[in-house]
Homo-oligomer: A and B are copies of this chain.
Amino acid sequence: MITLKNLAERLNVSISTVSKALSDSDEISKETISRVKKLAGELNYQPNRVALSLKQNKTKTVGVIIPNILNRFFAMALYGIQNEATKLGYSIITCITNEQLVKEQESISLLSNGSVDGFIIAVSEETLLSSRIQHLQTLSEKRIPMIMFDRNLNDIECNKVIINDFKAAHEVTNMLINRGKKQIAFISTINDLNVGALRRIGYENAIKMSVLPDLNPMYLFIKKEDDYQGLIKNFLINNPNIDAIIAADNITGTITVNVAINMGYDIPKDISLIGFTDEVVSNLSIPKLSYIDQNAETIGENALRLLVNELNNKDLDNAYSTLKIPFTIVHKETTRSSI
């Protein structure tokens, strides 16, 4: 790598002159500035990032901690974070915790050695379940800028970016009720997560608040290691009166369409379906699954933007807030409105 020192030697000027010239200081003569810039351009000089970080005591790097990169929601959020970071001149160091508390603790500890200026975190499932949040509380106490997204811990004070999961589930449930559905079931593999619980409660709440007297909630909770197809099939067999299903996670909606079709159901005539997923997954079933788009990319962008904002105003003692990103209900083929 070419350094200021190299340039200074070649030009027979001092290092500080070169430094000032490159930043268009008016202490330096026009002529020197152009000489310096010319050579810097020719040699493709780039200021050493590490030296700058040390000098300015900020790395312009953000630590991003996510539970699972195979989950499309987090993958898209990461993409949003990354894009926005590039725009604002930041780099990101990503750590994937694989839903494990230990890895989350290690990642944060690892990056707390001056590697990053702040964190964007979606906590792991194990963290949520165990409520062992000392590592996050420490960050908060040290006033290290941090944004939590999607999975929210009420006990941690920091800025947050989420979607209104309660409202989303509530809204689609109401929509199904308004379309005359009598037995709306709720399938979830993420009931342990707070987002999963919020979706369930939104669903429950809409059912209970309905003016129709005979509506009752009906659930199928699936564990990660279970046989999804088998459980869903049994569920449908045991509950032949189901006429609508809300899938709380990324993939059970698709699997449910496949299972129902395989069992001979006419979708959406017999059963309407909607999931929390995205366009690509929607195309993986026939008929195509309707879905609630969580706008993951937007969530990521906003998380990064909020963090950078916090970094730039570290001295100001602003109150923390929670940003709710709007969701979008996308009607494909499993909730045709004519039915």
A220 located at the interface, meaning its Cβ lies under 8 Å from any Cβ of chain B in the complex: no
Interface: A46 (CB within 8 A): yes
Chain B residues near A173 (CB, 8 Å)?
none
Apart from A1-B114, A93-B94, A261-B262, 11 more pairs, CB < 8 Å: A46-B112, A50-B54, A50-B59, A69-B69, A86-B106, A91-B110, A251-B283, A251-B284, A254-B284, A255-B284, A262-B286
Q: Is the CB of A75 within 8 A of B82?
A: no
- The CA-CA distance from A96 to B83 in the complex, in Å, is 8
* Minimum distance in angstroms from A122 CB to a CB of chain B: 15
A222 at the interface (CB under 8 A from B): no
B interface footprint on A117-136 (CB within 8 Å = 1, 0 otherwise): 00000000000000000000
Interface string of A274-290 (1 = CB under 8 A from B): 00000010011110000
Interface contact B82-A94, CB-CB below 8 Å:
yes
A327 at the interface (CB under 8 A from B): no
Q: Mark A225-254, 1 if CB is under 8 A from B, else 0.
A: 000110000000000000000000001001
Decide if A298 is an interface residue (CB 8 Å cutoff). no
Interface size on A, residues (CB 8 A): 50
Residue of B whose beta carbon sits closest to that of A95: B82
Where the two chains meet, the residues of A that have a C-beta atom closer than 8 Å to any C-beta of B are: 1, 46-51, 53-54, 59, 61, 69-70, 72, 75-76, 78-79, 82-83, 86, 91-96, 98, 106-107, 110-115, 228-229, 251, 254-255, 258-259, 261-262, 280, 283-286
In the complex, the chain B residue whose C-beta lies closest to that of A61 is B93
Report A283 CB to chain B, min CB distance, Å.
6
Identity of the chain B residue whose Cβ is nearest the Cβ of A83 in the assembled complex: B96
Q: Is the CB of A50 within 8 A of B1?
A: no
Which of B51, B79, B285 meets A54, CB within 8 Å? B51
- Choose among A46, A47, A83 the residue with the greatest number of B CB atoms under 10 Å from its CB: A46
Q: Are A69 and B59 in contact (CB under 8 A)?
A: no
